Structure 1
Amino acid sequence: METYGKRVEEVFRAAGHDMEIAVVAASDILQALETACRRDDLDAIVAGGGDGTISAAAGVAWRTGMPLGVIPAGTMNLFARSLKLPLDIWKVPEVLANGRLIDGDIGSADGRAFVHQFSMGLHARMVRYRESYKFASRAGKIGASVRAAIGVIFNPPDFEIEFDADGHRELRHVSAISVSNNHFGHATLMYADDVTAGHLGFYTAPPLSPAGVAKLVFDVLRGRFRASPFITEMSALAVDLHFPKVDRKINCVIDGELLPIRRRDVALRVHPGELKLLVGA
């Protein structure tokens, strides 16, 4: 880490910028971000980590108006892919140091920021299963994800939602919900091609059999999520979800983090142009 930090400092200095490096424990990340974003002598922050860390950094940057740069150091690095940044941590500092600022979009679920997606059903169950396994490396996490996906295939969720998407109201029985910060790309893994289009992507899948879940997983892995016959999609600025038959604990996933839903309603919004992002020139 010390070697990498020195390299980042050198790259930014060569581009005419001063850079301070702080290595922060997971339990201290939010406090460190809050402190950095409230300084008046910084032009931007650069956060390195997985999608969960980047999501936390984006939430603080959004609330404080601080520009954010991203170093992809996680497993999937989906938001970095949306920003078209190199996934090699040794190459991305030069791109950021010589980059430009854009006004990107950010989503929120009951006020909690997300840069990638809010999801329920299949994805939340898979993450819950994965977190029940022990792993200590990226390869271990991938292996745990494969085991969890197999578990979900043979035990898919099935639940009822009422939703209002920009005034369109409907009741649906589903196995999965995903609300993304801008639509996912047509031929990519589940990440947006453009984070400045100013809308939410709203996707649902009907109650699925094990064979149906397996087919949907295959479509996701080959970048054909939106083309899957199981997926219904809409665009919206605001999506309100209501769960009329909740009689037990339910979970959602926000940018990779499994979280409990404590009440029967969730308000999802897009905030166009409110997240300042450092991207390649």
Structure 2
Amino acid sequence: MRFQVVLNRDGGTLRRRDADAVARSLREALEAAGHAVSVAAVAGDGMDAALDEAAAGPADIVMVGGGDGTVSAAAARLAGSDKALAVLPAGTMNLFARSLGIPADLDQAVAAFATGEVRAVDVAQADGRIFVHQFSVGLHTKLIRLREKKSFGSRYGKMIASLQAGFAAFLRPPRLAAALTLDGREIVVRASGISITNNLLGEGYRLPYAARPDGGVLGVYVTRARRRRDLALFALGALFGRWRRNAHVDVHQAREVTLRLVAHHRRFGCAMDGELADLGTETQLRILPGALKVLVPAQAKERV
């Protein structure tokens, strides 16, 4: 197979590693397995152009090394095409990579890709924009906004900044009033946060990622906790992956969702795969089953 590799030098893991050394190592591993390989290691502000070039090029596989935002940007370009996406887990949380069963270690991931198989998985869409993991408003969005005001130069620094931002967000949680239309059925909720995920999150997982990347549904998670004590209990449950067993979270699923914020919508932004974005009064979301081809390790094929 022909691989085009695009590495984000500013991604969580590659910030503290020699990106050129990583590029040489993966080139050698893939070429030893008989693949043709081209590698581009670029700074974060050059990723859009590099991804455009990779999507338009002759490669069968576009391998992307970076965080979930980088992976999401690549998926948006490749969804619906004949090219497959290989997710190199070089971000902070690597949530989409985890849902695909890709090893967290970079060298192990590359070795697995050398003999990997192509499978079709789902992506989700919010007002036409592709995301691979999560769309959120409220608590999670506030956490990201507060975290982005802090300085961090490594994966662990980002984790610490996230904890600090989370504590601050919990002290003064947002208050949302929203109407959700789930496959034609409307419910009205008052919440501190609403997250809509590309497939349902795994129960009992210590990180929030999808149990099945080809489940064909959106997961809708409404955090009703708004008092500090309730938020603390919610966070404790979330830490252990308790979603359906969490007294402060309502869990729904649907193929199409309309989110309409009832009041003060302009003061709330949203987050898509960890990146902040503007939010309108109404957002249309839907699942796109099997829209993205991905390269997964052979041992992970039963999961996908």
Same fold per TM (> 0.5)?
yes
Q: Determine if the alignment matches structure 1 residue 84 to structure 2 residue 117.
A: no
**Pair 1:247–1:178, CA change in 2 (3 A):** closer
2:269 to 236, 248, 251: 251
- The normalised TM-score by structure 2 is 0.89
Unaligned runs of at least 5 residues, structure 1 = none
Aligned partner of 1:29 in structure 2 is 47
Q: Determine if the alignment matches structure 1 residue 214 to structure 2 residue 232.
A: yes
Q: How many residues align?
A: 279
2:249 to 231, 243, 256: 231
Aligned partner of 2:293 in structure 1 is 276
Which secondary structure does the structure 1 equivalent of 2:287 belong to? strand
Which secondary structure does the structure 1 equivalent of 2:39 belong to? coil
CA distance in 2, matches of 1:259, 1:43: 31
Identity %: 38
Residue type at the aligned position of 2:37: M
2:172 to 148, 155, 160: 155
1:201 to 219, 223, 226: 219
Q: Deviations over 1:92-140 (max 9, x none)?
A: 0011111001010000111111111101111011111111112122222
2:122 to 101, 105, 110: 105
Q: Determine if the alignment matches structure 1 residue 16 to structure 2 residue 40.
A: no
Q: Determine if the alignment matches structure 1 residue 119 to structure 2 residue 132.
A: no
CA distance in 2, matches of 1:168, 1:247: 22
Q: Determine if the alignment matches structure 1 residue 136 to structure 2 residue 153.
A: yes
Q: Deviations over 1:213-245 (max 9, x none)?
A: 111111122222332111111111000011121
Q: Determine if the alignment matches structure 1 residue 146 to structure 2 residue 140.
A: no
Unaligned runs of at least 5 residues, structure 2 = 1-18, 299-304
Aligned partner of 2:191 in structure 1 is 174
Q: Deviations over 1:141-172 (max 9, x none)?
A: 11111111111111111110011110111111
For the Cα contact (< 8 Å) 1:184–1:226, is it kept in 2? no
Q: Determine if the alignment matches structure 1 residue 6 to structure 2 residue 19.
A: no
Aligned partner of 2:60 in structure 1 is 43
Q: Deviations over 1:52-77 (max 9, x none)?
A: 11111111111544210010011111
Deviation at 1:81, TM superposition (A): 0.6
For the Cα contact (< 8 Å) 1:249–1:260, is it kept in 2? no
Deviation at 1:207, TM superposition (A): 4.4
Residue type at the aligned position of 1:222: F
Runs of 4 or more above 6 Å deviation = none
Residue type at the aligned position of 1:195: P
- The normalised TM-score by structure 1 is 0.96
For the Cα contact (< 8 Å) 2:269–2:276, is it kept in 1? yes
